[in-house]
Amino acid sequence: MKIAVIGPGALGSLFAAGINRTADQDLWLLDHDAQRAARLDNKLLLNENGQELVCPVRITADARNIGPVDLVLLCVKSADVADALVRARPLLNVNTLLIPFQNGIRHLDVLHDLPFHVAIGVTAQGATLLSPGHVRHGGSGLTRIGFLEPQSGPTLKRLNNAAHLLNVCGFKTEISPDILSHIWAKLLINVGINALTAILNCPNGDLLKEPARTRMVEAVLEGAAVAKALGIELPTDPVAMTQQVCRDTAANISSMLQDVRRGKTTEIEAINGALAAEARKLNVPVPVNEELIRQIKKLA
Ligand code: PAF
């Protein structure tokens, strides 16, 4: 299979290093930054279980060097999806399956009516970018991939092939017939954890202590009310799930706190912002989320 991973961030580097290390595939990593792509010098460093592994991966900033591929794993931030799709055009044709992996739900808006196949990915893989090209694999959570609309025949086969590849490479992956409910389940976890950890400047586990815990629970319950109004059935109790993620990732610095610390644009619009936008359309009050948005905008 010919595969391109787009975005040398934490998740993109983890997927590229893991696929290249395990599977005999035609793999490329596409960066938008030509200077960084050159500096990476066709290799990634994977820190796994305390060991450093050098993984040779072909890295380029020009999608024309790659040409059409069978599978694209799109691992850029939500706000960069539209631009990444334009740059990725040479990779994409009617046979390509694209799987975007983003936090939040904003990216779903730009994934309609595209002339290639699009599934959606939701992953609980833990990855931290230690420096450009150097990624730490923090924990192996489940990855789910699925189509928003039911598919069959060769289109479904492409998804099966992608799941098989990821499983062979050690990224436990399931095909989900109801990916939207998993997208929302992950959204509510991010709604509860990301903004609050960034505002309080604390690791995820600190949200289990009062008064942060109450605020986290309120933010998640507002999100659950929006999901209910949209008719989305969540796969698990979102409050219990969010608290479990806080326990499982107690020492983690959330991606939003990392962005705030680095002075980078946060994903507040893709997470709490997108939730508040849905809530407005449905007349569901989300005052806790609106306050979180205001506070993050003051920080960034
Ligand atoms: O965005 C993040 O940081 C992660 O999705 C999560 C699950 C909140 C863990 O830090």
pLDDT given at position 300: 67
| C-alpha to C-alpha distance for 158 and 61, rounded to whole angstroms | 26
Distance (angstroms) between ligand 1 centre and the Cα of 194 equals 7
Given 141, 160, 175, the domain boundary residue is 175
Q: Do 120 and 216 belong to one domain?
A: no
**Tokens 């505002």 belong to residue:** 199
Burial label for 112, CB within 10 Å (0-12, 13-18, 19+), is exposed
Q: For residue 186, indicate whether it is catalytic.
A: yes
Q: Count up the domains in the chain and report the number.
A: 2
| C-alpha to C-alpha distance for 127 and 44, rounded to whole angstroms | 14
Distance (angstroms) between ligand 1 centre and the Cα of 147 equals 23
Strands 143-146 vs 134-139: parallel, antiparallel or unpaired: unpaired
Distance (angstroms) between ligand 1 centre and the Cα of 187 equals 10
Q: Do 42 and 114 belong to one domain?
A: yes
pTM: 0.93
| C-alpha to C-alpha distance for 88 and 74, rounded to whole angstroms | 10
Q: Do 110 and 240 belong to one domain?
A: no
Dihedral, CA of residue 181, residue 184, residue 190 and residue 196, to nearest 10:
-130
Tokens of 178: 């109801």
Collect all residues with Cβ–Cβ distance below 8 Å to 251 and sequence separation of at least 6. 203, 204, 205
Q: Do 137 and 183 belong to one domain?
A: no
Q: Do 150 and 41 belong to one domain?
A: yes
Q: Do 88 and 186 belong to one domain?
A: no
pLDDT given at position 21: 86
Give the DSSP H or E segment for 100. strand 97-100
Q: Among residues 2, 43, 186, 264, which one is catalytic?
A: 186
Which one of 186, 206, 244, 245 would you pick to mutate in the ligand 1 pocket, going by the greatest count of ligand atoms within 8 A of its CB? Answer: 245
Per-residue pLDDT of the chain (300 residues; tens, 9 = 90+): 999 999 999 999 999 999 998 888 899 999 999 999 999 999 999 999 889 999 999 999 999 999 999 999 999 999 999 999 999 999 999 999 999 999 999 999 999 889 999 999 999 888 888 999 999 987 778 999 999 998 989 999 999 999 999 999 999 999 999 999 999 999 999 999 999 999 999 999 999 999 999 999 999 999 999 999 999 999 999 999 999 999 988 888 888 998 999 899 999 999 999 999 999 999 999 999 999 999 999 996
- Residue 60, CA distances (Å) to 38, 82, 184, 222, 294 in order: 7, 19, 33, 43, 38
Which one of 140, 188, 206, 252 would you pick to mutate in the ligand 1 pocket, going by the greatest count of ligand atoms within 8 A of its CB? Answer: 252
